Amino acid sequence: MKDEVQTQFGQWPTAAAWFLVIAAFLLFVPFHRKVDRKPAGAFTAFALAFAFEMYGVPFSLYLMMGFFGRRLPEGVLGETGHYIFLACLLLGGGLVVAGWARIYREYWSKDDREGRLVREGLYRFIRHPQYAGLLLISLGMLFEWATIPLLFLWPILIRQYYRLARREESELAERFAETWTEYRRRTGMFMPKFRFPGPLSS
């Protein structure tokens, strides 16, 4: 079993392919402003660290071998962790694509002062589905292969997207006033609220 686990390391073409897929995915997502790129850079670093230790050299596991003996563990939860990772990858990817597509079509692609507050689709439940999706994907990576760099980077990643969301919300509050206040009260930032006090007003 030890040999089977260790054969997954040193697969640099696989590591490079995984990183390129993540990079291409982020390039596909349009950036509204330069400030969006800093959290995207943190997510890219997170994906690079994941690929390096998942398929390249598992430095974190070598450091922790005193806890596991000479046998390297198969991820955090073994096969279960892999399925959780796949579920997070699919769901998170769907949130990112659907969220960005609607907000870009209804708001960012419009001229100044022509965009409207988007409250339909995923935005009826959460205010930042695209950021929630990226955080969900990164959480799935932790279930698949938690390492010291990933455990260090994940709180930083959350902080980056939280600060970006708060900055955007300050601008929306100034622009949409009471409409934004009502919308914010009914929805969660990254996770949906479980109670809705009635239909949204037009």
CB 57 within 8 A of CB 147: no
CB 140 within 8 A of CB 92: yes
pLDDT range class, residue 198, cuts 50, 70, 90 = low
Helix axes 148-186, 37-51, angle to 10 degrees: 140
Q: What is the pLDDT of residues 16-55, one digit of tens each?
A: 787 787 777 776 665 555 556 677 778 888 888 888 777 7
What percentage of residues in the chain have a pLDDT greater than 70?
A: 70
pLDDT of residue 1: 41
Q: Which residues contact 186 (CB under 8 A, 6 or more apart)?
A: 193, 196, 197, 200
Average pLDDT score over the chain: 78
Give the global pTM.
0.77
CB 58 within 8 A of CB 147: yes
Domain ranges, ordered by start, for the chain = 2-186
Which tokens in the block code for residue 11?
């697969």
Structure letter (DSSP) for residue 112: T
State the CB neighbour count (10 A cutoff) for residue 177: 10
pLDDT, greater one: 132 or 60: 132
Give which of 172, 202, 199, 198 is closest to 184, Cα–Cα: 172
**Looking up tokens 């970006």, which residue turns up?**
164
